[in-house]
Amino acid sequence: MEDNSDLQWFWDTLDAHLSRQQLKQTKQRKVIVEHFLRLARHVDAEDLYRRVRGKGFKIGLATIYRTLNLLRDADLVTQHSFTDGRAIFEIKRPGTHHDHMVCSLCGIIQEFENDQIEVLQSKVAEDHGFTLTSHRLDLFGVCRGCHNEQSQQ
Ligand SMILES: [Zn+2]
Ligand SMILES: [Zn+2]
């Protein structure tokens, strides 16, 4: 688990992006970003909405989405759509990379890194005369917990 306490770079990058776009840091936006950073690694936009509302902030779901889209445009978060079209956002740490495994039953998200897959992907791209700039690899299946539960029935 990575530590989210040292996120000054995140705020600095956001400030730089806002001033480039000639946007102001609003209180609502700040509240949303603070809650986003405090949540788990893979944040469901609607969970974030419920969390912020639960803390008594009157912020609409559309504002949550706008703020998350802003973070995506600032290259600070990656947006995923693993299952049933739900938008999942995660902090994009410069210089790091991982892929995901998603349980189709309970939706749990497992991160993984595999050097061989990384090398192979670059090679496949190269074989096709393709210069790789980024990739995402999502594996879908049934996690151990769900598998055990199924076999007990
Ligand atoms: Zn599962
Ligand atoms: Zn992840």
**Do residues 23 and 83 both lie within one domain?**
yes
Residue 81, C-beta contacts closer than 8 angstroms, at least 6 positions apart: 87, 88
Q: Which ligand is nearest to the CA of 40?
A: 2
Is the residue at 3 inside a domain? no
In a domain, 47, yes or no: yes
- Do residues 109 and 82 make contact, with C-beta atoms less than 8 angstroms apart? yes
Distance from the CA of 152 to the center of ligand 2, in angstroms? 30
Both 64 and 87 in a single domain? yes
Rounded distance from Cα 108 to ligand 1 centre (Å)? 6
Look up the CATH number of the domain holding residue 37.
1.10.10.10
Q: Output the pTM of the full model.
A: 0.82
Q: How many independent structural domains does the chain possess?
A: 2
Tens-digit pLDDT profile for residues 117-146: 999 999 999 999 999 888 889 999 999 999
Q: What is the CATH number of the domain that holds 124?
A: 3.30.1490.190
Ligand 2 centre from 110 Cα, in Å?
8
CA distance 43 to 24: 24
CA of 104 to the centre of ligand 1 (A): 7
Give the range of the structural domain holding residue 132, as residue numbers without chain letter: 99-152
Q: What is the pLDDT of residues 59-90, one digit of tens each?
A: 999 999 999 999 999 999 999 988 778 889 99
